[in-house]
Amino acid sequence: MAETATTTQADQRLLSGDFMHRLEQLDVMSRKILRGRMQGERRSKKRGQSVEFADYRNYVVGDDLRRIDWNLYARLDKLFLRLFMEEEDLSVSVLFDVTASMDWGEPNKLLYAKRLVAALGYIGLVHYNRVGVFSFAGTIVDSIRGLRGRRPIPRLFEFIDSQGRDDLPAKKKGNLTQVCRRFALTQQHPGVVVLVSDFFDKGDLNEALRYLSGDRFDVYAIQLLAPQEIDPAKGNIIGDLRLRDIEDDDLAEVSVGPALVKRYKANLQAYCNHVREQCLRRGIAYMISDTSVPFETLVMQYLRERGLLG
């Protein structure tokens, strides 16, 4: 009997039924050879035991005689082994930022991130991959992991929808180094890791990403910004203001005019370039988007162009 999943209010808030149907045509891709533990729908880059033929190689002593192609031997008088494409599952982990800076902007960054996480989780589950979702701030705030198949989809959506509440601990201030370290130490399975954040973190980004680099994980970093962060004029930020950092309560009194806005934009661009450079240095795929980009365009076009989905 096929697995089914009922529709919940969380489903409707995050993804429409029509869009979920479109998502089923996509799959999470890996740029690396990452070994799964269960038979899934993924076509591996390795050669294995499935029924779909891939290639031949020369027989060597000790190989399984059952895999010899005797018809080829009759024609060429030489022993060859049949190789087949192996199908395996993939571990897909999505870490998303629920710090106070994410719960801001129009469209709201946190809601946009939740929809993105729901889409990635949904794609992973319908293709029978192992899916885990982790919300983080000063540390990993909450998680749901070890999901597989369609049945847990409503539970996954309810979990995503609930994140970022004021009653959850460690919501306000971020510590990306602590988050990446804890994830790397506790994540048992190699696989694809998607990190969704605005990256407004005052720690050492290079140190944080160090924990995710290497052969265990194929990492994608998605930086989300609000339109008002890219262009302060869209947020009517002008004149003499007293600004407060919503994560650590630092205060700054500023006079916002054209010269300061120009300097702000240059600094923001420099910081985003820094995030990109640190990711590329660690072999992490990077992309940036602002929340005014239609969510469907981000998933169906931009993530496919970046190679995360295919």
Nearest residue to 42 (alpha-carbon basis) of 130, 118, 116: 130
Residue 205 in this model has a pLDDT that exceeds 90 = yes
Give CA 91 to chain center in angstroms: 11
Q: Enumerate residues 6+ apart whose C-beta is below 8 A from 70.
A: none
CB atoms within 10 A of CB 285: 16
Q: pLDDT at position 54, please?
A: 57
Average pLDDT over residues 30-56: 55
Of residues 222 and 67, the one with the higher pLDDT is 222
Whether the CB-CB separation of 256 and 233 falls below 8 Å is answered with no
Token pair belonging to 121: 């989780």
Residue-wise pLDDT for 62-115, tens only, equals: 677 877 888 888 888 888 877 654 455 689 999 999 999 999 999 999 999 999
Nearest residue to 72 (alpha-carbon basis) of 83, 81, 62: 81
To the question of pTM greater than 0.85 for the whole model, the response is no
Q: pLDDT at position 158, please?
A: 96
> Which string of b and e fits 89-117 if b means at least 16 CB within 10 Å?
bbbbbbbbbbbbbbbbbebebbbbbbbbb
Average pLDDT over residues 117-129: 95
Q: Where are the domains of the chain?
A: 9-30+89-226+282-305, 42-88
Q: Report the residue count for the chain.
A: 310
Q: pLDDT at position 47, please?
A: 46
Q: Is 225 in a helix, a strand, or coil? A: strand
Residue 289 in this model has a pLDDT that exceeds 50 = yes
In the 8-state DSSP scheme, what is residue 28? B
Nearest residue to 230 (alpha-carbon basis) of 185, 266, 205: 266
Q: How far apart are CA 48 and CA 73, in angstroms?
A: 21
Q: Of 161-170, 171-180, 271-280, which gets the smallest average pLDDT?
A: 161-170
Report how far apart, in Å, the C-alpha atoms of 261 and of each of 71, 86, 174 are.
Answer: 74, 55, 26
Residue 30 in this model has a pLDDT that exceeds 70 = yes
Average pLDDT, the chain: 85
Cα 267-276-27 angle, rounded to 5 deg: 135
Q: pLDDT at position 9, please?
A: 65
Token pair belonging to 265: 């934009």
Of residues 242 and 226, the one with the higher pLDDT is 226
Q: pLDDT at position 166, please?
A: 62
Cis peptide before 107 (omega within 30 of 0): yes
Whether the CB-CB separation of 259 and 111 falls below 8 Å is answered with no
Average pLDDT over residues 192-215: 96
Percent of all residues in the chain with a pLDDT value above 70, rounded to a whole number: 83
Q: How far apart are CA 263 and CA 218, in angstroms?
A: 35
Q: Enumerate residues 6+ apart whose C-beta is below 8 A from 187.
A: 93, 132, 193, 217
Token pair belonging to 48: 């294995």
Residue 214 in this model has a pLDDT that exceeds 50 = yes
Model confidence band, residue 24 (pLDDT cutoffs 50, 70, 90): very high
Q: pLDDT at position 239, please?
A: 73
Q: How far apart are CA 54 and CA 46, in angstroms?
A: 10
* CATH tag, 9-30+89-226+282-305: 3.40.50.410
Cα 118-121-124 angle, rounded to 5 deg: 150
Instruction: Identify the residue whose tokens are 């190989």.
Output: 63
Q: pLDDT at position 67, please?
A: 77
Q: Locate all alpha helices (DSSP H) within 15-108, ordered by sequence.
A: 17-23, 70-76
